[in-house]
Amino acid sequence: MKRVFLYLAALIILGSCGSSGNGELVGVQNRKPYYQPTPYGMAYIPLGSFTMGAGEEDADYALISQPRTVTIAAFYMDETEITNNEYRQFVFWVRDSIARVLLGDMNPEEYLIEEDRKTGEFFDPPYLNWDSRIDWDGEEERDILAEMYLPEHERYFRKKEFDTRKFNYEYYWVDLQAAAKKDFSQDGNVEAGSLNNRPQGLQDRSVYVRKEVVNVYPDTLVWLYDYSYSFNEPLTQKYFWHPAYDNYPVVGVNWRQAKAFCVWRTQIKNSFLASKKGDASIHDYRLPTEAEWEWAARGGHDFNPYPWGGPYTRNDKGCFLGNYKPLRGNYTDDGGATPIIVAHYPPNDWGLYDMSGNVAEWTADAFDESSYNFTWDLNPHYQYNADINDPAVLKRKVVRGGSWKDVGYYLQVAARSYEYQDTAKSYIGFRCVQPYLGRQKDDNPAKASHIYKK
């Protein structure tokens, strides 16, 4: 009995010493406040409502941009389109990942991280050791890495080059849309939150995990595919690789590659934050929804047809405000014939460059002529995850902004177009967005918590 009494007394003493808030409901204590930093190279887009689809001429009377009022949550958006040099970082990361996997079979201690030395936990599969240096010309490494290069019979002038057909990026994503659906096939009744209400009655969450394998190298032949009877060989040979084009927008990237880039960008940032103790992860980078793109492109100017706010494609000095196809084909009158360096023209009032012209841009939305009529008015988004075997009509993705080869009509912020998700073009690029965590950028969560406690 004496031992039991001492045991109970110890429990009471230990319980009274904990951070219990004196018996009050105070929440979990000592959590670090979070202030979302502005991502490098991005501009903040505030939340707000606007008339989506307003201001378009609708020259072909297609009625696919019927005006409606929608509300958009705050987010960050890339100030410019993703450039060749930025996308090349993704390509190099995939290339070096493949090399480290191959070299890991030779020397796992140098190229792979198989164990956490602090906790003793073993990783299966192991992590790649990005602190290791790849010796591309080492005698032993040369034989192992040989399979990454083109076979000799495919080389021009015996030049040793990487086989970019092998630059595949593998990633996984969770199909939240499928997970949110409920199965009414049994008795017509479901219980909120029940695991049995998942599609087909499946309870294992892994059924909603999708695997993607995407070749990340841009299609550099798009300059020839798109314009058969035009001398575009210099762009085909040099546009993606030559340093002269480093700050030009990347093209030849299809929708699936653009989506994979966003996943990779999230991954490398969260990996960096994980290496710093206590730093919270970021929200995912992704392609903008169609509504987000138009809200950002307008720059706070509702009902105006162009990002710069006015009804014309020139300023008061007669200078063109975007890179497109003016004056019945006088490509150079606006300062550029094909794509030009990003941020050449002035930004809109939210600090975004080239929202009209230069290259058109992929969005996250699937294209449907009537989507304005059935999507919600709060953060509207029409998503369809087309399978490789689906008909072409289901693979259409919305493209916005117009490009260097388009007439002025497509520069309007409300003008809609589409391209197929597995198709790359010489006039389509992309930029990323990141949702803002909270209501508005000027909110002060620490101050708000004190007000709440009072």
pLDDT(219) > 90: yes
Round to the nearest angstrom and report the end-to-end CA distance of the chain.
46
- Residue 178 to residue 325: CA distance in whole angstroms: 43
**48-52 and 122-128 beta bridge pairing:** unpaired
**Does residue 145 lie in a domain region?**
no
Ramachandran area for residue 365 (φ above 0: left; ψ -120 to 50: alpha; else beta) = beta
7-21, 60-74, 243-257, 264-278: which range is least confident on average?
Answer: 7-21
Q: Which residues pair with 44 in a beta bridge?
A: 76
Query: Residue 18 has what pLDDT?
Result: 52
- Residue 165 to residue 90: CA distance in whole angstroms: 15
**Does residue 163 lie in a domain region?**
no
**pLDDT tens-place string over residues 260-279:** 999 999 999 998 888 876 67
pLDDT(394) > 80: yes
Answer for the pair 402, 411: CB distance below 8 angstroms, yes or no.
yes
**Does residue 433 lie in a domain region?**
yes
**pLDDT tens-place string over residues 407-450:** 999 999 999 999 999 999 999 999 999 999 988 887 755 555 54
CA distances from 8 to 12, 20, 23, 244 (A): 6, 18, 19, 76
Query: Residue 21 has what pLDDT?
Result: 73
Query: Residue 441 has what pLDDT?
Result: 85
pLDDT(5) > 90: no
- Residue 338 to residue 341: CA distance in whole angstroms: 10
Query: Residue 16 has what pLDDT?
Result: 47
Q: Report residue 49's pLDDT band, with 50, 70 and 90 as the boundaries.
A: very high
Q: What is the mean pLDDT of residues 184-198?
A: 50
**pLDDT tens-place string over residues 6-41:** 554 544 444 444 556 788 998 988 888 888 889 999
Q: Domains in the chain: how many in total? A: 1
**Does residue 109 lie in a domain region?**
no
Task: Read off the tokens for 331.
Answer: 């490509």
What contacts 65, CB < 8 A, 6 or more positions away?
Answer: 53, 56, 58, 372, 414, 415, 416
Query: Residue 208 has what pLDDT?
Result: 86
Q: Where are the alpha helices (DSSP H) in 219-360?
A: 222-226, 233-238, 255-274, 290-298
Range of the domain at 337: 43-82+289-445
**Does residue 337 lie in a domain region?**
yes
**Mean predicted lDDT score pLDDT of the chain:** 87
**Does residue 142 lie in a domain region?**
no
Q: What percent of the chain has pLDDT over 70?
A: 87
**Does residue 24 lie in a domain region?**
no
- Residue 267 to residue 264: CA distance in whole angstroms: 5
**Does residue 302 lie in a domain region?**
yes
Q: What percent of the chain has pLDDT over 90?
A: 63
- Burial letters for 189-203: b for 16+ Cβ neighbours within 10 Å, e otherwise? eeeeeeeebbeeeee
CATH number at 318 reads 3.90.1580.10
32-46, 122-136, 199-213: which range is least confident on average?
Answer: 199-213
Query: Residue 349 has what pLDDT?
Result: 96
pLDDT(192) > 60: no
Query: Residue 19 has what pLDDT?
Result: 55
Q: Chain-centre distance of CA 172, in angstroms?
A: 14
- Residue 410 to residue 396: CA distance in whole angstroms: 18
pLDDT(354) > 90: yes
- In terms of pLDDT, which residue wins out, 181 or 197? 181
Single pTM value for the model: 0.90
Task: Read off the tokens for 307.
Answer: 């990002």
Q: What is the mean pLDDT of residues 188-216?
A: 69
- In terms of pLDDT, which residue wins out, 267 or 179? 267
**pLDDT tens-place string over residues 82-95:** 999 999 999 999 99
Q: Report residue 44's pLDDT band, with 50, 70 and 90 as the boundaries.
A: very high
pLDDT(168) > 90: yes
Nearest Cα neighbor of 148 from 192, 100, 188, 115 is 100
Answer for the pair 421, 365: CB distance below 8 angstroms, yes or no.
no
pLDDT(285) > 90: yes
Q: Which residues pair with 286 in a beta bridge?
A: 433
CA distances from 73 to 6, 67, 288, 377 (A): 57, 19, 12, 12
Q: Where are the beta strands (DSSP E) in 176-242?
A: 209-215
E strand or H helix at 45, and its extent? strand 42-45
- In terms of pLDDT, which residue wins out, 117 or 240? 240
67-76, 80-89, 149-158, 371-380: which range is least confident on average?
Answer: 149-158
